[in-house]
Amino acid sequence: MPQIFPKKANILPHISLIGALFGGVFTIFFVWYYFSPEYTDVGYEPEQPVPYSHRLHAGQLGIDCQYCHNWVEVADHSNVPPTQTCMNCHTQIRTESLKLLPVRESWATDAPIPWVKVHNLPDYANFTHTMHVNNGVGCETCHGRIDEMEVVRQVEPLSMGWCLECHRQPELYLRPNDQVTTMGYVQPADFVERNMERIRIEHIEPPTYCSGCHY
Ligand code: HEC
Ligand code: HEC
Ligand code: HEC
Ligand code: HEC
Ligand code: HEC
């Protein structure tokens, strides 16, 4: 009778043992790598096709965030403003500027400016701005002092743990809705009490169960 399991099969348990050891090492590496700041992209600051400055427009000129980021949430539609928004001013201001050449080209050809996305969540994590902005989470809380940035960079990890930190204790982060675009918001001394009260009245309950963010 031919041998079904060749002699070699005896080494299989050893291989699984070694595999398990390596697996363990791999898991540690995996966790370390994924949760380290490098992987979370904190500090990511890609070069943009136009030297557009938030420090100038949102900071010095004081243009409100929502003038350009108006949260019309259409699928596949970016929240970065169309060239038209820039041209509301730049048909009159700095019309000869070389820095604005790609903007005028985009305007003339109808081809959108290829802005590079700074913040990126994987597709399997569900996120909408509207629910946050309408429930008192400020832009500043997630994006930092944009009004002081010449070039936008990511300042928070946007990791699952980071999302959950707030979802478990939103009272430590909320501000009145009319302050969501304020940069440098100063919390009143009793802000936790005020937020607890608001959370109770408005039934603010950010999801902490898996399907709240992963469908
Ligand atoms: C005059 C228009 C304008 C105003 C006002 C403005 N932005 Fe922007 N914003 C842009 C443009 C254009 C981009 C894309 C280029 C870039 O990243 O700099 C952008 C990019 C961003 C990004 C990065 C998006 C990404 O790619 O992930 C964030 C975050 C942001 N803006 C937040 C804000 C906040 C907060 C304010 C108010 C303090 C604000 N913006 C005011 C035009 C504007
Ligand atoms: C509400 C008016 C307004 C809007 C809207 C606006 N800008 Fe500006 N922008 C200005 C002003 C004012 C200056 C400063 C001009 C100066 O320094 O004399 C400026 C300066 C600039 C400069 C520097 C030009 C240079 O030669 O130094 C760039 C680049 C620029 N804007 C890009 C943009 C882009 C891109 C958008 C659209 C996302 C935009 N701006 C929207 C008012 C505006
Ligand atoms: C709760 C955290 C949070 C708040 C509050 C928040 N953002 Fe964001 N923002 C994010 C995350 C996360 C992304 C990346 C989303 C993705 O990749 O799907 C993002 C992406 C963006 C983008 C890029 C969108 C695109 O389509 O390219 C812009 C612009 C932006 N945010 C501006 C703002 C402004 C302005 C405010 C305040 C009115 C704001 N955000 C408030 C977390 C936040
Ligand atoms: C600083 C606080 C804060 C941070 C950070 C934050 N959230 Fe939220 N989130 C909230 C609040 C407040 C609500 C509103 C809950 C309500 O109205 O019941 C909310 C609601 C949601 C909802 C429910 C939306 C709906 O349609 O019901 C989802 C999904 C969500 N957040 C995902 C995320 C993800 C993903 C991240 C991280 C990338 C994140 N949030 C980061 C505070 C936060
Ligand atoms: C508040 C929103 C939120 C909730 C609730 C949530 N997640 Fe996540 N999860 C995220 C985000 C955002 C990411 C992407 C993180 C990143 O890109 O670094 C993620 C990533 C993951 C990943 C991929 C990890 C990786 O390193 O690639 C897994 C697996 C996961 N979540 C499982 C779960 C499970 C299981 C639960 C329930 C116990 C859960 N999540 C609850 C927001 C959430």
Same domain, 137 and 208: yes
140-177 pLDDT, tens digit each = 999 999 999 999 999 999 999 999 999 999 999 999 99
- Cα distance from N-terminal residue to C-terminal residue, the chain: 53
111-146 pLDDT, tens digit each = 999 999 999 999 999 999 999 999 999 999 999 999
Looking at per-residue pLDDT, the higher value among 21 and 112 belongs to 112
Ligand 5 pocket check for 142: Cβ under 6 Å: no
**Tokens standing for 32?**
């370390």
> Which residues lie below 8 Å from residue 132, measured CB to CB, with a gap of 6+?
142
Same domain, 60 and 23: no
* Ligand 3 binding residues, C-beta < 6 A: 65, 69, 78-80, 117, 119-121, 127, 129, 132-133, 137, 139, 141-143, 158, 180-181
Instruction: Ligand 1, residue 65: give the atom nearest the CA.
Output: 37
40-73 pLDDT, tens digit each = 689 899 999 999 999 999 999 999 999 999 876 5
* pTM (two decimals): 0.90
Q: What's the CA-to-centroid distance between 196 and ligand 3, angstroms?
A: 25
Nearest to 206 by CA among 170, 157, 154, 176: 170
In a domain, 95, yes or no: no
Instruction: Give the whole-angstrom CA distance, residue 147 versus residue 166.
Output: 23
Same domain, 72 and 138: yes
Please state, for a pLDDT cut of 90, what percent of the chain lies above it. 74
Residue bearing the CA closest to ligand 4, atom 5 = 163
Ligand in closest contact with the CA of 86 = 2
Contact 215, 126 (CB under 8 A): yes
In a domain, 96, yes or no: no
In a domain, 135, yes or no: yes
* Number of domains, the chain: 2
Instruction: Give the whole-angstrom CA distance, residue 83 versus residue 80.
Output: 9
In a domain, 153, yes or no: yes
Burial of 140 (0-12, 13-18, 19+ CB in 10 A): buried
Using most ligand atoms within 8 A of CB, pick from 66, 115, 119 the residue to mutate for ligand 3: 119
Q: What's the CA-to-centroid distance between 57 and ligand 2, angstroms?
A: 7
In a domain, 139, yes or no: yes
Residues of the domain holding 181:
54-80+115-213
Instruction: Give the whole-angstrom CA distance, residue 86 versus residue 83.
Output: 5
Same domain, 76 and 176: yes
Ligand in closest contact with the CA of 118 = 1
Contact 167, 174 (CB under 8 A): no
In a domain, 27, yes or no: yes
Instruction: Give the whole-angstrom CA distance, residue 197 versus residue 202.
Output: 9
Same domain, 119 and 150: yes
